[in-house]
Structure 1
Amino acid sequence: MLASPYPFFQSLSREIGQLQSDYRNFVPLTPGQMKNVVSGLRQEYVPLLTDGAFANQLAIVRGNGKVDLMTVVLDPHERALAFYSRFSVPVLSPDYKTEPRNFWAFVLDLGTKIRACGKIPVLTIGDAEWLLDSMIEFGLERLNEVFVFNQDYLLQQKLMDKFWQYQLAGEAGVDMPLTWPGDADFWKEKASLPFPVLVKEQRGKRLFTETGRQAIELFSREELIAAKKEVIGNVPVIVQQKVSDDGSENMFSIGAFRNRHTGHSILFSSRRIRATRVFGSTALSVSEPCPEGVRAARKYLDYIDYHGSCELEFIYDSRQKKLLLLELNPRLYKTQSLATHCGINFNHFALLTAMGKNLPEQPQQIYGPRWWLAWGDIADGIRKMQTGKLSFQEFIEPLSFDFVNGMDELDDPLPGFVNIFNGKF
């Protein structure tokens, strides 16, 4: 048989054909099938991830995979992206939004089955905004009888209240933008506000789900009152002074894991370069030092005696000439795969804590690599170039060949392939 004159394309065609076959033949496991798979794993500790949707949960599964751990992934949707990871044991679950009690009963049953295999299940919460309330209502004690915890989920639930975060920051001596609770007294008073302001949901994701916006920017009291009537309604909100960064992206993310028993924390800093929405949804970020943010993050976490994984968002205020804490997200975050790429694997630290082992010393962070959600960034970049808001050179300039893709990975290609097929960027 003659050799192909185009071996690369022949090999690529075979790979694409295999991906298509894997996609078509994919079926999530039943709890009984999961038990058979888990029994054969060469690992004592088995992470169980409560949901598997999109980039942040996929990063958790891949982060565990970097230390040779398979993760039992639960999701109510058969085509959840993390199901397709080669590091995943995919199990279809009840919908945690519409059937919360059934969902947690299902989680408890799976944990019991993992225990029956002679393994130790470690509970990992992905979508904290939706899950923490129902989890605590179901009973932390019941879950803790089966699962190992490496997070203080009760504290994480309390930290869902962004105004409480603001109060704690003041007590800890960490600077935040001026913030007011949008309570009944606030809407009655006529005190002048330092416009522009941002209106954010005080806790949860209801406003984002209904409007697609993480925050609403307003420039006058008239706009604020109109937004209250037309958009906000009875959703509890906070009103926060908008920070000025002179139009540049001076938003920093500090990922962290802290062990309460030893007081030791490990942190990772990055800067957002681009986003696909005005507020939130990072599309491109870079591993970069932010010593002021790291110091403030450690000070804040020590003050509240945090235990587990989280992300703190900071922004540099050009008017006050200082870095301000915007909020703490009490969960693992979307761009954590950049931290793993740069030598700081928060999933591994969580496992060490579950095993009762001490965290290592602060690893040396590698600076310079990027995190890129490529397809979303390209699509958004094309739209901005068409309207003259961005030039091709401005789009290309911050890119680098040293990057980790938030969705597509060569050693775990199927989730990225499925994401392109689903058209969700």
Structure 2
Amino acid sequence: MAYAVTRSLGRRYIRVYTADFLPGSMSSASRYSSGSFLYPSPFSQQSGFVETLIEKLKLHCCNVLIPVGEETYLIAKHKQRFLQHTGMAIPDYDQILAAHNKDQWGALAAQLNIRCPAVFAIDDIRQGRVADLPFPLLIKPKQGGGGWGIVQVDSPRELEALLGRQEHWGRPWDRFFVQEKIQGQTHCVAMLFRQGEYRARVGYRQLRSYPIKCGQATLRISVEHRGAEESLQRLLEALNWHGVCQADFIIENRSGAAYLIDVNPRFWGSLAQGIACGVDFPYMVYKIAARGDVPPQDSFRTGVITRWIGGDMAAFVPSLKEAGSKIAFLREYFWPHRRASHYDDLSISDPLPFMYWMADALYRSVKKRGGKSRSHESLEGIWE
């Protein structure tokens, strides 16, 4: 995400400084980064993060701050303080919480006649207060991203065995809820709003993902689905949204109806898809933050295919195992009939970021084999 922002603005000759709380980030290696620095973790050292970032904003005379991951939420929590030093286009903290908590936005969606899967509280199921559960079900974290903690449950016996454990993924059960699984294909919609008013959108269908059943799209194609787009627009208008937001829908196989299953109140993993479709979200966010507004953009290019090579590489082995026809999968993976026209992480004119990613992926692979792997704190967020 940060690399997509860096590349978008840098190509427009806008000076960009990149930052992270971990060394060796992709964006710091980009030719479009004028400089980079480290800050304390926004998850475990929140006060240090805020103070350091404000100090760096003043030092580099930055007129716009564009957060991309869950650090967006902490910055929104201290929004008024940051706005004294720089421009931003992000929602208020209470808006973020309303959209981020997966077990809460369903009530607002229901009021707006937006289709959503049924959700159930873990305690209600354990106490026998729920009858006739619609299997298959998904156990999902109330907060967090990247596909961590999501498990499909196909039968009452399997659910009973799972809920009989003291923890799930090493975390207490109050971090999770249960959601009905809608059978269909994943369709994503991303939008930009300014103070409750629509400015831009893009829609795309996931062709492959990592993790393979519940993760971020690694291969996608831009398509329209008016039902999904209208649903997200109604939700964001009701929240008086300011900034970007992305949502995942399942297009039900039988009816073709769009069911809202997830909302990301920040930049999203497939950000490069929108840019490739002619909707340059990073630049539009920059202009709103620096100049106040941008003209609305009513359309995007459809049929555009983009690929996240790093994610596709990570998903290769599990995808091959799941494939019905191994030969057909290998043919489509290596010699696709429709090739991607844009890549999230690889650029011939800016190759170092991808090399940094490869080195980091190798390091994480070694740690995982050593038994030290754990979902990253930037994916686990606990915000209240």
TM range (shorter): 0.7 to 0.9
| Pairwise CA distance, 1:199 | 1.1
| Unaligned segments of structure 2, at least 5 residues | 366-384
Contact 2:186 2:249 (C-alpha < 8 Å) held by counterparts: yes
Is residue 2:355 matched to residue 1:420? no
Contact 2:247 2:262 (C-alpha < 8 Å) held by counterparts: yes
What residue in structure 2 maps to residue 407 of structure 1?
345
CA 1:421 to 1:217, structure 2 compared with 1: closer, same or farther past 3 Å? same
| Unaligned segments of structure 1, at least 5 residues | 1-55
Which one-letter code corresponds to 1:64 in the other structure? L
Name the SS for the 2:234 alignment partner: helix
| Pairwise CA distance, 1:315 | 0.9
Contact 1:168 1:304 (C-alpha < 8 Å) held by counterparts: no
Pairing partner for 1:282 from 173, 198, 217: 217
Is residue 2:52 matched to residue 1:87? no
CA 1:283 to 1:396, structure 2 compared with 1: closer, same or farther past 3 Å? farther
What residue in structure 2 maps to residue 241 of structure 1?
180
1:286-365 superposed matches below 5 A: 286-362=221-297, 364-365=299-300
Contact 2:136 2:154 (C-alpha < 8 Å) held by counterparts: yes
Q: State the number of aligned residues.
A: 352
| Pairwise CA distance, 1:168 | 1.1
What residue in structure 2 maps to residue 124 of structure 1?
66
What residue in structure 2 maps to residue 259 of structure 1?
194
Which one-letter code corresponds to 2:288 in the other structure? T
CA distance in 2, matches of 1:359, 1:198: 39
What residue in structure 2 maps to residue 102 of structure 1?
48
What residue in structure 2 maps to residue 68 of structure 1?
13
Pairing partner for 2:161 from 206, 223, 226: 226
Is residue 2:211 matched to residue 1:269? no
What residue in structure 2 maps to residue 174 of structure 1?
114
Contact 1:96 1:131 (C-alpha < 8 Å) held by counterparts: no
CA distance in 2, matches of 1:253, 1:320: 18
| Pairwise CA distance, 1:421 | 3.3
TM-score by length of 1: 0.76
Is residue 2:59 matched to residue 1:113? yes
Identity percentage of aligned residues: 19
CA 1:321 to 1:285, structure 2 compared with 1: closer, same or farther past 3 Å? closer
| Pairwise CA distance, 1:283 | 1.4
CA 1:395 to 1:326, structure 2 compared with 1: closer, same or farther past 3 Å? farther
| Pairwise CA distance, 1:203 | 1.8
Task: Summarize deviations over 1:267-315 as a string: whole Å, max 9, x none.
Answer: 1011100113211122111112222222222122212221111111111
CA distance in 2, matches of 1:360, 1:396: 43
Moved over 6 A (4+): none
Larger Rg computed on CA atoms: 1
CA 1:97 to 1:229, structure 2 compared with 1: closer, same or farther past 3 Å? farther
Contact 2:201 2:300 (C-alpha < 8 Å) held by counterparts: no
CA 1:363 to 1:112, structure 2 compared with 1: closer, same or farther past 3 Å? same
CA distance in 1, matches of 2:323, 2:91: 47
Name the SS for the 1:265 alignment partner: strand
CA distance in 2, matches of 1:366, 1:97: 37
| Pairwise CA distance, 1:200 | 0.8
Report the aligned-residue RMSD: 2.5
Which is further off, 278-287 or 348-357? 348-357
Which one-letter code corresponds to 2:188 in the other structure? S
TM-score by length of 2: 0.83
